[in-house]
Amino acid sequence: MTQEFVQLLNDVAAQHIDICIDSRQAAAGMIFVAVPGAAADGAHFIPMAVQQGARIIVCRPQAAEGLAAQATGCRVLWHEDPREALWQLAAARYNTAQHAPKVLAVTGTNGKTTTAYLLEHVLQALGHSTGVLGTVSYRWPGHSEQAPLTTPDALRVHRMLYEMAEAGVEYAIMEASSHALDQQRVDGVPFAGAIFTNLTQDHLDFHHDMESYFAAKSRLFLDLANKNTAMAINADDAWGRKLLAQCPQAYAYGLEPNNLPNKQVRGTILSMNTEGMRLAMTCGQRSWELASPLVGAFNAANLMGVQSLLLALGFDTQAFAPLHTFHGVSGRLERVVNKAGLDVFVDYAHTPDALIKAQNALRGAGFSRIITLFGCGGDRDRTKRPLMAAAVAEYSDLAVLTSDNPRTEDPMSIIADALPGLSKAKEQIVEADRRTATAKALQCMHKGDALLIAGKGHEDYQIIGTVKHHYSDQETVRELLA
């Protein structure tokens, strides 16, 4: 870090200089950080930022060669890593180290949203003011907006934590995606707690291999946490056990025995049916039980992760009572009430592991047949498509393969990639139109069957090309069964 940049950080903190990464939002006196992106390099937009009135430009020397001359009247600071520069500037501007709620982060392939909502539910019931940054929305008292990304960019993260603090929020609960961790979007955040739910194949179009994917997730615990950060890590997950070996202070939670030296929160599912489950937990000399309306071993893991983090934060087991009244998250194994009285569930599952867990949850609840409707996202990891199909073929009685946000790919090409995985399906339907596929799946249902509509969850759109078209699985089911 150059002395010139250190001085800029001091000036930003003292003078509250505003920062932007979108040249269209640049205004007189602002700092424009030219961040390299997947689609375009921010350096290409330096001239527009200057024209808009930006007075300081921060960019890579190699990316901005030839553009600095167009920044007439501006101060140009070179930085080898503009992403790093951005979070440092944002942390200085919003004084995040001193002026932020207690931030609790949840990372993992599956279970992030449910875990975040469980934490929010408990903390609110205990009288604490909360805020949430996650897949569904960014919200805190007096503010709510739909989330375009699970984790926003570094500038927004720091600004929203500041705004939460101003609104009196005590605990900010954040879903930390692997992309965000890899791209330094949550660097500089003072994490009070962190949960690792699991790691299964996803996003390999971005991370390329599982080791790189794990390395991105691990940053939360190994690079961004501090000695006082409370940690809870799933010991039933192989990657979780690998992480626990590097985090001796973390609580290890799970339903299976392990030989790890970490503090242990062990659970047993005493019963499970269509009405919910009952769990028994132990931690050292403490033991307690919990009844929950949620179903599925994966939700047992989510419940245990939350309890483990709360224990690590210093809460007593009496604080877990509100978990009895948590009925779930929109689009997370959400029961769609309908006039036909059929058992239809909508879930966000869009990975092989998530599909297996959702199907097993319904099977474990006692339904006679499982019908699963699913699709694979376009412009995303192609290698998981046949694996998703194989997961449905193995765990469902009827597989219905359709479209799920095809984006710029041909829906039939996506289906062709997935089809080999259905080779062992007991019965299958292939229909590219999602609404038509849903109608066909509903027509195949009998009383006692469960239909799992997977992939979209809370989403109310279908991305075709580059355009979002309104589409809701929940609405579609209700309309078809009206």
- Per run of 10 residues, the mean pLDDT along the chain (length 482 residues) is 93 97 95 87 90 93 60 82 97 96 96 96 98 95 93 96 98 95 96 96 67 94 96 97 97 95 96 89 97 92 98 98 92 89 94 93 91 97 96 98 98 98 98 98 96 96 96 97 93
> How is the beta sheet containing 137-140 ordered, strand by strand?
143-146, 137-140, 130-133, 171-175, 102-107, 191-196, 230-234, 251-254, 263-273, 276-283, 286-292
First to last CA, the chain: 63
Bridge-based pairing of strands 171-175 and 130-133 is parallel
pTM of the model: 0.85
Q: How many CB atoms lie within 10 A of CB 372?
A: 28
pLDDT score at 383: 94
Q: What is the DSSP string of 121-177?
A: HHHHHTT--EEEESSSEEEETTEEEE-SSSS--HHHHHHHHHHHHHTT-SEEEEE--
Confidence at residue 203, expressed as pLDDT on a 0 to 100 scale: 57
* C-alpha torsion sign, points 394, 395, 396, 399: negative
How crowded is residue 448: how many other Cβ atoms within 10 Å of its Cβ?
11
Domains along the sequence of the chain with CATH: 3-93 (3.40.1390.10), 96-325 (3.40.1190.10), 334-480 (3.90.190.20)
Res 204: pLDDT: 60
Residue 70 is predicted with a pLDDT of 59
Cα 179 to Cα 174: distance, rounded to the nearest angstrom: 14
| Res 261: pLDDT | 92
Calculate the CA dihedral of residues 473, 431, 206, 59 and round it to 10 degrees.
-70
Please count the other Cβ atoms lying within 10 Å of the Cβ belonging to residue 222. Answer: 12
Residue-wise pLDDT for 251-297, tens only, equals: 999 999 999 999 999 999 999 887 789 999 999 999 999 999 898 89
Query: What is the maximal distance between C-alpha atoms in the chain?
Result: 73
The pLDDT assigned to 274 comes to 73
How high is the pLDDT of residue 65?
Answer: 60
Q: How many CB atoms lie within 10 A of CB 349?
A: 29
Structure tokens at 362: 């319904």
Quote the pLDDT of residue 79. Answer: 93
pLDDT value of position 66: 59
